[in-house]
Amino acid sequence: MRLAEVERGDSPMHRLLIRGISRLAGYRLPDAARVAFYDRGFAGPVLGRWTQKAMRGPSPWSVSERELMAAMVASWNACPFCVGAHRAISVRGMEPAVVDAVLADFRSAPIDERLRAVLAFLETMTKDPDGLSAADARAALDAGVTVAELEDAAAVAAVFAVITRNANALDFALPTAEEFDRAAGMLLRRGYS
């Protein structure tokens, strides 16, 4: 359900900020940023800090790998906005053909076995959380994934379990590929908080 307050801003100050940022950026401010203005109590600083830590904090996974994990969680949660947004960021550090192959079928994509194993873990975590077991973690660890890598990947999946549902519930508008690309550059420069 699209909320008018998210689209236009819920206060005169937020309306000015949304218009100003959109004008400066040269494209419509994505709904993810608009929601941060609308619901500062949750979608603003709190969710921003959590996302920043998972996506840009110290990690054995690269930024592009974590963005690809986010895109996969978005795909499993049928969130086209988040798939597009996080694909656009992941291709800044990975070959687009590899990213697209992972999004199509990570099991056959030309990626490192550790990444494939962690994606299998995240798939179960996302699609069948009640079915997630120690055996799933053991399979990832047996493939060479470290405990720290598994924890960091689980943090990405956890935050995007929330974000994708928020995006779907609020019916985020789908930017063009060019707008996703421009927003990706901004997110790489500024981060999530």
Domains of the chain: 4-190 (1.20.1290.10)
- Of the candidates 189, 190, 169, which has an alpha carbon nearest to the alpha carbon of residue 82? 169
pLDDT of residue 101: 98
* Token representation of residue 85: 């947004």
| Residue 40 DSSP one-character state | T
Which has more pLDDT, 98 or 29? 98
Q: What's the pLDDT at 46?
A: 80
Do the Cβ atoms of 68 and 94 come closer than 8 Å?
yes
Helix spans in 96-176 (H)? 96-105, 113-127, 134-142, 147-169
Least confident of 40-44, 63-67, 141-145, 176-180: 40-44
What pLDDT score was predicted for residue 147?
A: 98
On whether the CB atoms of residues 178 and 86 are closer than 8 A, the answer is: no
CA pair distance 126, 2, nearest whole angstrom? 25
Please enumerate in sequence order all residues whose Cβ is within 8 A of that of 129, keeping only pairs 6 or more positions apart, or say none.
Answer: none
